[in-house]
Amino acid sequence: MEIIVLENKGDSENDRVLRQKAKPVKDITGEVRKIAQEMIEAMHRGRGVGLAGPQVGFLRRIFVTHAEGDHPRVFIDPSIVWTSQEQVNYEEGCLSLPGIWAHVTRPGKIKIQAWNEKGRAFTLEAQGILARVILHEYDHLEGILFIDRLDEARRSKVLSKLEKQKKAG
């Protein structure tokens, strides 16, 4: 089975899924490991650097990352336990919002606790692109898209572009 990445092009059903808060995974079963592997494959196919459960219609607290210079990682039931005061402004895109790119301000460094696909708990300190990707993917678990973090002027610009894409099909 090939999993499909849900795109928010004004499609109400996809938007409804992307806007939900994901539930904990709790039991890291063989099925969860299989989904994690499929999510990594889908992320690579889409040339993305991260992908979260809700983006493939799996409303559980799981995401995968593959930041430049890093290896693929799986985060299950993550908690962000620390973020730096220092904020960084950097351009983001999202596999669920094709064609949309915008600068978003986020903490530059973070510390996260999670479980990997083998059921092993870990703590990771991240900065740079990896920290950025983790924060973006974590937002997906809360039903938040990066465009929600733009100021009003830039957000309305993006929304009108999405509206045009919707009309174009």
Which residues are the active-site residues? 137
Helix (H) / strand (E) containing 37: helix 30-45
Burial of 159 (0-12, 13-18, 19+ CB in 10 A): middle
The smaller minimum CB distance to Ni ion, of residues 18 and 32, is found at 18
- Cβ closest to Ni ion, residue 125 vs residue 148: 148
Question: C-beta of 167: minimal distance to Ni ion in Å?
Answer: 23
Q: Which residue in the shown chain puts its C-beta closest to Ni ion?
A: 94
Shortest distance, CB of residue 140 to Ni ion, whole angstroms?
6
> Is the CB of 74 or the CB of 94 nearer to Ni ion?
94
Binding site for Ni ion (CB under 5 A): 94
C-alpha distances in angstroms, 112 versus 5, 78, 124, 141, 146? 25, 7, 5, 14, 19
Q: What is the C-alpha to C-alpha distance for residues 9 and 131, in angstroms, rounded to an integer?
A: 27
Quote the least distance from Cβ 163 to Ni ion, whole Å: 19
